[in-house]
Chains A and B, each alone.
Chain A
Amino acid sequence: MRAPSTLHPLTSLTAAGCTAVITTAAGTWPLSLAVALAAVVLARRAGAGRRVLGTAAAVLLPLGLSLLLLHGLFFPEGRTVLAAWGPARVTAEGLAFAWEAGTRTGACVLVLLLFSFTVSAPDLVAALAARGLPPQFGFVLASALTLLPAMAGRLERIRAAQESRGLVLRGGVLPRLAAVRLQMVPLVLGLIEESGNRAQALDARGFGAAGPRTSYRQVTDPPAQRRLRTAMLLLTAAAVALRLVASWPGAGPV
């Protein structure tokens, strides 16, 4: 098996999206768990294991704890009561619900993070533009993905500048809010000012003009991967159709 980074970006996007949808449609925790484990293994192999796991933990831990608290203690539909303190009742159904929902979301998050942390953003933008998506979409995507990592350093510089002018980052809520305002206004002002300059530069180079565009970046798309994508999309459509037909409201048990 080749590393995911050598796949065409649309192939990995389709694979991630289809896996997430099929996992949701199936809705059984063994499959969710298997998908999550597979995503972790693939991420490690692609050398992004630590980043994927770190980001996923930041997203999933609060969600998982919240689900456990919510359904573990309060699940009025539950019948098998394991323990009860006053209004709080630990039920087997509630715990199962939290486990099902948690593993399903966990699998989807891991798979999608595996995609976004292994794909090359310029390749993805070029591939999407070649598929006829508006070039504006590619610009917003690529621009945001490059702007975001630069923000931490920028905020750091603004804070250092304000601190050198006497800003104190301590105290209660009100001084803190004042400190936030002193950092926020220069950040927003700088970003908007910059974007105005960028708009003029882009317009001078014909960004807003209509008509065909030539791309400097060519992403090879082997026919085998095209067939793979079609197959995955068909499989996903079948899974969704099956789930919709099987549990259409009033059609029988879920």
Chain B
Amino acid sequence: MSQQSLILPATGTGPGAGSAAGTAKARRNRRLLELAGAVSIAATYIFLVLTQPADIANGPASFSALVALGGFLLGAVLLIAAALPVLPTSTLVLMPVALVLNVVLGQLMGSTGLPFYFDAIGTVLIAVLAGPAAGAATGALSSIVWSFFNPTVLPFAAGAALIGFLAGLAARGGLFRRFYLAPVAGFVTGILAGVVSAPIAAFVFGGTAGLGTGAVVSAFRAMGDTLLAAITKQALISDPMDKAIVFAIVALLVYALPRRTSFQFPFVRRFRVLAGKGPATPEA
């Protein structure tokens, strides 16, 4: 109850009037959904690692592919279902923006010729401005919408949700208040997200989507690693670096925004996400 009363009432964007008991129950259901989503993702990962086929000479294992697809997508859908209906409109309208930024900024950064993917800039930006739940929902949803143009993104929805969630947690913990801490948070996020996404690449696609990453995986395979081990090691090389850069870019972007814009988000004001004082507002 006390937690509810701490939330600053954004004008007209509250979750709607309801009895105290009703909102408490709805919040418990939401927590259960979030928990079920996280458990589904974690259980799928552990199951896949424990039961990975010892011999893949007979071709890619359909069994592992189905389990990976089912478990990870179920987790992503549960996370969306938990977060989406309670997000305020001001956050909701940011989600399409995040998706567009993921795609467009990814392409723009690609024009610099650097060997990274940078396809999570929008997700991390929303997570920093609107919190972990919004970040997770944005990551998963943007994978779903992106899959309309590139269906291979769809299975990675759970990894994208994890990135958004961890970015939101880092922002809440104040890691974006110091510029040098943001890449560190990105590095840790990249380790976790890379490890979780590796079974998808290994079992659903049988490899990685890019030639550069494929070459790194080849090197580990040449040393005799299993496919999952090789792809996990490749992810541990590429992803932390990639996410560290993405977090740094987002930190630059957030501080480049006018205070009036960034401090309009209740999450930014409540958890003092950014260094410095906000503009003088009646709520602050």
Cβ-defined contact, B257 with A243, below 8 A: no
In the complex, what's the smallest C-beta–C-beta distance from B249 to chain A, in angstroms?
Answer: 8
Chain B, Cβ-Cβ closest to A23: B62
Q: Please tell me if B150 contacts chain A, counting CB pairs below 8 Å.
A: yes
**Distance, CA A78 to CA B221, complexed state (A):** 12
A71–B108 touching, CB < 8 Å? no
- Contact A66–B94 (Cβ < 8 Å): no
A1 on interface, CB distance cutoff 8 Å:
no
A244 to B51, CA, bound (A): 13
Which of B1-9, B169-177, B190-198, B205-213 contacts its partner? B205-213
Partner of B57, one of A79, A98, A140: A79
Q: Are B63 and A254 in contact (CB under 8 A)?
A: yes
Q: Which of A59, A65, A139, A188 contacts B253 (CB 8 A)?
A: A188
Residue in B65, B109, B144, B261 with the greatest tally of chain A CB atoms within 10 Å: B65
The answer for the CA separation of A74 and B105 in the assembled complex, in Å, is 34
Q: How far is the CB of A82 from chain B (nearest CB, A)?
A: 14
From known contacts A70-B217, A98-B206, infer whether A25 and B62 are also in contact, taking CB-CB under 8 Å: yes
Are A244's CB and B66's CB within 8 A?
A: yes
CB atoms of A210 and B51 under 8 A apart: no
Whether B238 sits at the interface, judged by CB under 8 Å, is no
Q: Is B214 interfacial (CB-CB < 8 Å)?
A: yes
Nearest-CB residue, chain A, relative to B253: A188
Could you tell me if A112 and B147 are in contact, using CB atoms closer than 8 angstroms? yes
CB distance from B102 to the nearest CB of A (A): 10
User: How far is B137's CA from A139's CA once the two chains are assembled, in angstroms?
Assistant: 14
A188 touches B101 (CB 8 A): yes
On A, residues with C-beta under 8 Å from B are: 21, 24-27, 55, 59, 62-63, 65-67, 69-71, 73-79, 87-88, 93, 96-98, 100-102, 104-105, 108-109, 112-113, 116, 134, 136-137, 139-141, 143-145, 147-148, 151, 155, 173, 176-177, 180-181, 183-185, 187-189, 191-193, 195-196, 198-199, 202-204, 207-210, 240, 243-244, 247-249, 253-254
Q: Known contacts A112-B147, A136-B84; is A240 also within 8 Å of B66 by CB?
A: yes
Q: Which of B205-243 contact A (CB under 8 A)?
A: 205-211, 213-215, 217-218, 221-222, 224-225
For the complex, what is the distance from the CA of A180 to the CA of B14, rounded to whole Å?
37
B interface majority secondary structure: helix
CA distance A181 to B207 in the complex (A): 33
> Which B-chain residue is minimally distant from A190 (CB atoms)?
B97
- Bound Cα distance from A236 to B58, whole angstroms: 24
Give how many A-B residue pairs fall within 8 Å (CB-CB): 236
Chain A binding surface SS class: helix
Contact, CB under 8 Å: B145 / A187: no
Q: CA separation between A62 and B151, bound complex, in Å?
A: 14
Q: B114 and A173: CB pair below 8 A?
A: yes
**Given the complex of chains A and B, what is the CA–CA distance between A113 and B252 in angstroms?**
36
Within 101-126 of B, Cβ neighbours of A (below 8 Å) are at 101, 103-105, 108-109, 111-114, 125
Which B residues are CB-close (under 8 A) to A198?
93
Residue B276, interface by CB 8 Å: no
Contact A59 B151 (CB under 8 A): yes
Q: Answer whether residue B279 sits at the interface, using C-beta atoms and an 8 A cutoff.
A: no
Contact of B207 among A71, A88, A183, A207 (CB under 8 A): A71
Residue of B nearest to A176 (CB): B112
Residue B80 interfacial (CB < 8 Å): yes
From B252, which residue of chain A is reached at the shortest CB distance?
A181
The 8 closest A-B pairs by CB, nearest first: A101-B206, A66-B214, A27-B62, A112-B151, A144-B96, A74-B221, A143-B96, A116-B148
Is the Cβ of A180 less than 8 Å from the Cβ of B109? yes
Cβ 8 A contact of B104, one of A75, A155, A247: A155
Which one of A59, A74, A188, A240 has the greatest number of beta carbons of chain B within 10 Å? Answer: A188
Let me know if B278 is at the binding interface, CB within 8 A: no
Residue B282 at the chain A interface, CB threshold 8 Å: no
CB pair B104 A97 closer than 8 Å: no
Beta-carbon contact of B57 and A55 below 8 Å: no
With A144-B145, A195-B97 already in contact, 5 other A-B pairs whose C-beta atoms are closer than 8 Å: A88-B222, A97-B59, A136-B84, A145-B145, A176-B113
User: In chain B, what residue has the closest Cβ to A97?
Assistant: B59
